[in-house]
Amino acid sequence: MPRKPIRRQRPKSWPITFSPFGRALARMASVSKPNRLTESIENPTLSSTSNGFNKHTLEERPDGSESSDGEFDGVVQADFAFFDPKPTDFHGVKTLLQTYLDVEEWDLSGFADLILEQTTVGTVVKVEDDKDEGVFALVTTLNLWRYREQRCIMKLKEFLLLKAGQEKGIADKLRLLLGEQAHNVGLLVSQRVVNLPPQLLPHLYDSLFNEVSWATEDEPTEDLRNSFRFKHYIILSKIYKHKNAEQQKRKLSDDSEEAIVYAKPEDELFHKLSSWSFCFPLRTQQPAPHELKNYSSMGLIMAVEADKMPTFRQQLTSLINEG
């Protein structure tokens, strides 16, 4: 059965975060920057495909608009499309993964190669017909047992265990997922540019989890099919945590700053659905908006059971539609 492309236009604004406080920041930014890039939204429609493409596409139709005085009105036109990873995406994928393990020295090139070599499960987002083929987002999941002997995966496990060392009870659970239970554990990798239209996210994750399901039936060998029968996912991401987080948790006012601000909207959902999670300070302190001056960037590691993903997909769609 052919997979169907989804056409949708880009959103009017790009919230940087999706906590209540984060949404307030996004509204503040849209008011303070009148020339910010803007787009319109179109209801998605499904159509059959005859060109053999097996990825969803997102399209923004040009409106050719220009302000009355001849100046550019801030509208940028782009046709985003979902593609299978391929070798020519190497530099774009590597760039997105640059700080995946903070400032750790590791085999990042090898990690990017693993992602690109696994074409049956994984998606990259690019601008359609762009000669430069820049990569704006990627999402995939890698079986930790299948790739256990790869140098990059060994270093990644070492990094995770080191960060979990001070977390009572969690280090043992993590060690179990990385070791004895690794046959059924997927490392869920999701990286993207900060202003990727959030309306893409439900389709991006639907594509990922559909491909995981298809791989359990379509892969040529039993070992490969079994490697996608995940029971747990490990997710490594980044959040902003208030420097006085405990005090913020005790405040009930809607006007108070949130204890945690999520840089990615889906991370708030993953966090709530996770079996366990922990944070650790990042050594990479990238510039943050002024509104986040009271926050520190932190790494967030989560373990989410695979049977929670249908709930996640429903919640993500609702969150984006409400946003």
| Mean pLDDT calculated for residue range 284-288 | 74
- 41 or 217, which is more confident? 217
| Mean pLDDT calculated for residue range 213-241 | 97
Q: What does DSSP say about strands 232-242 and 185-192: parallel, antiparallel, or unpaired?
A: parallel
The domain ranges of the chain are 6-322
- 185 or 133, which is more confident? 185
Query: 47: exposed, middle or buried (C-beta count within 10 Å: 0-12, 13-18, 19+)?
Result: exposed
DSSP 8-state class, residue 167: S
Q: What is the pLDDT of residue 26?
A: 43
* Cα separation values, 24 from 20, 208, 226, 323, Å: 6, 30, 44, 11
The answer to whether the CB of 122 falls within 8 A of the CB of 142 is no
Q: What is the pLDDT of residue 114?
A: 97
How much is the pTM?
A: 0.79
| Mean pLDDT calculated for residue range 265-281 | 97
